[in-house]
Structure 1
Amino acid sequence: MGNPGKSSISATVVIPCRDEAESLPALIRALPPDLHPLVVDNGSTDGTAEVATELGCTVVHQPIPGYGSAVNSGVEACDTEIVCTIDGDGSMDPDDLTRLVAAVAAGADLAVGRRRPVNHQAWPLHSRLGTQWIARRLRRRHRVPIHDIGPMRAARRNRLLALGITDQRFGYPVELLVRAGDAGWQITELDITYRPRSGGRSKVSGSLKGTLLATRDFLSVLREMEERCTSTRPRQS
């Protein structure tokens, strides 16, 4: 009898990268065989694209900087029905992707990973608190049933592109969740392992400045979308 947590459906995993040559090999080798890696090189200077090519990945070059810019270009380049995402820093277990893909194959519109850190070094307090604050606001104001806005997720490619996400920076996952919630998507959240990155320093959680910049982008997207909803709401006579 098969493992219900595994998926036999083929999917593409988009891996946005900027200077992840050190951690990428272990990540790619640990990917489940039914997931094809597509690496989006977002301006790397350490040979990330060359390493990805040697590992057999599809490589897309996106010179416009930004997490959202990289992820969206990767999703557009995919040719599988289901697409998932994971960071290239080795902080997440790629085997967890199979459960997210399986959830989408079983009927969920969006499956997102809720990070469970293996130790306090994996997820610095300043980053965790900022994420929890934004997630609480998403639950209360937008009724999106999530507790994390991490980078591991899975969805059907065509439906994801149809949401019309425009943010090119760190605000991409927040805009995705708000738009998915507004569209009435069935969103499933699953626990995933979160560990210290295997190489370099995180662009977001690795410093207080990075966390503040990401939180700024999150809030900017939320405010813009909330203002849009308010302006389009019918006025009562």
Structure 2
Amino acid sequence: MNIELSIVMPCLNEAETLAVCINKAQSFFERENINGEVIIADNGSTDGSQKIATDLNATVVNVPQKGYGSALRGGIEAANGKYVIMGDADDSYDFSNLMPYVIKLREGYDLVMGNRFKGGIKKGAMPFLHKYLGNPVLSFIGRLFFKSKIGDFHCGLRGFSKEAYYKMELKTTGMEFASEMIVKSSLKDLKITEVNTILSPDGRSRPPHLNTWRDGWRHLRFLVLYSPNWLFLIPGLLLFIFGIITSSFLLFGTVSIGSVNFGVHTLIFTSGFVLIGFQFILFYGLTKVFTVENELLPKSNKYDKLFKLINLEKGLIVGAILVIIGIILSFSAYFDWQAINFGDIENTSTLRSVIPAITLMLLGVQVILFSLFFSILGLKK
């Protein structure tokens, strides 16, 4: 008979709890009359975990590359089931109560996430920082950045179809694997849902492999890097627009707010805001092309329109125009300087020509260089 469900457990020295987890999973198969298998993705155990698994008729897959994500990818790819449910082998999740996951998978959902905050977190099952800071904050960022409705991004018990797993095209090897699965599923418009899950204290006497700050940072870094809109585009647009508006006012004279006067020296800073914001926007474009062309992010219709809107020829023309305008303003400032026999410039009107001249020339050069590099990145397309 074809295997319907594979339960995959990553394992690194889990001898204390592995047998309990395997027995629960196998009793679940028997009780619910499910044709299933237990896969132990061993990541280099030295405590006899492999023998425990084989004695209990579980399949052991040796994964030499270290890391939580590496172990799971090795186990999932070796699984024969139509559906896969993954969970830690520390007895913190109840493998005898997986029917809510199976029901949702049979209904056609691509990814079924557990939610420990709705299901219940038993006393001592989750550290204070993880419960009230780490998980809620990272889950909120994930929902905000990727328009996901998942309430618990880091629940270790989750199910998915094998077909959906290959659509996700997962790349990471560490703890951020958990976030990548939800992010990729959201970006690829896979069908996602949640079920309530109870988290119990793990049954091990040793500390967990999870490192609060290191692994928390890896999750946060992953979420930010996979959302160039929030990292580059939105901050860049805000800074660029603010710089343009404030510079426009200061070009015509000093602006007073109460007893504070903003003049030509402030114009230097606002012009800097324009340049910095524009650099952020350009970097967003380069990051978007790089991540899509290297299959880190899925290609969208907007991406194809981007290449129609921006190309090398248009970029060179726009950049050249900006540089020429900057040169014309520079000549205007030069003639003002010549009118005072190249002496000390005390008239701020000259600086109001010099500053935008330099700003426009720098913007023009940035556009030209961006267009060249943008075209190089998109050569494959």
* TM exceeding 0.5: yes
Match of 1:179 among 184, 190, 200: 184
Question: Which one has a bigger Cα radius of gyration?
Answer: 2
Shift of 1:109: 1.3
Deviations 1:136-190 (A, max 9, x none): 1111121111111211111111221221110000010111111100111121111
The residue aligned with 1:126 is 129
Structure 2 residue aligned with 1:145: 149
Note the 1:18-37 alignment, pairs <5 A. Answer: 18-31=12-25, 32-33=28-29, 34=34, 35-37=36-38
How far apart are the structure 2 equivalents of 1:223 and 1:133? 13
Q: Could you say if the C-alpha distance between residues 14 and 126 of structure 1 is closer, same or farther in structure 2, counting changes exceeding 3 Å?
A: same
- For residues 31-76 of structure 1, give each alpha carbon's deviation from its aligned partner in whole angstroms, at most 9, with x where no partner exists: 1113411001111111111111111100000111101001111111
Amino acid corresponding to residue 203 of structure 2 in structure 1: S
Alignment partner of 1:161 out of 153, 166, 176: 166
Instruction: Name the structure, 1 or 2, with higher relative contact order (CA <8 Å, separation 6+).
Output: 1
Q: Could you say which structure has the higher strand fraction?
A: 1
For 2:51 and 2:4, how far apart are their aligned partners in 1?
25
Equivalent residue number for residue 300 of structure 2: none
Q: Distance in 1 between matches of 2:136 and 2:145?
A: 14
Matched, 1:213 2:214: yes
Asked whether the equivalents of residues 111 and 164 of structure 2 are also in contact (C-alpha less than 8 Å), the reply is no
- Given that residues 90 and 198 in structure 1 are in contact (C-alpha distance below 8 angstroms), is that contact kept between their aligned partners in structure 2? yes
Offset at residue 96 of structure 1 (A): 3.3
In the superposition, the TM-score normalised over structure 1's length comes to: 0.88
Structure 2 SS opposite 1:94: coil
Aligned length: 224
Distance 1:21 1:228, change over 3 A: farther
| Structure ranking higher in helix proportion | 2
Whether 1:112 and 2:113 are equivalent positions in the alignment is yes
What is the CA RMSD across the aligned residues, in angstroms?
1.9
Contact 2:122 2:198 in 1 (8 A): no
CA shift, 1:118, in A, is 4.2
Alpha-carbon distance change, 117 to 45 in structure 1, aligned in 2, over 3 angstroms = farther
Q: Which runs of 4+ in 1 moved over 4 A?
A: none
Are 1:17 and 2:20 an aligned pair? Answer: no
Verify the 8 A CA contact 2:13 2:46 in the aligned structure 1: yes
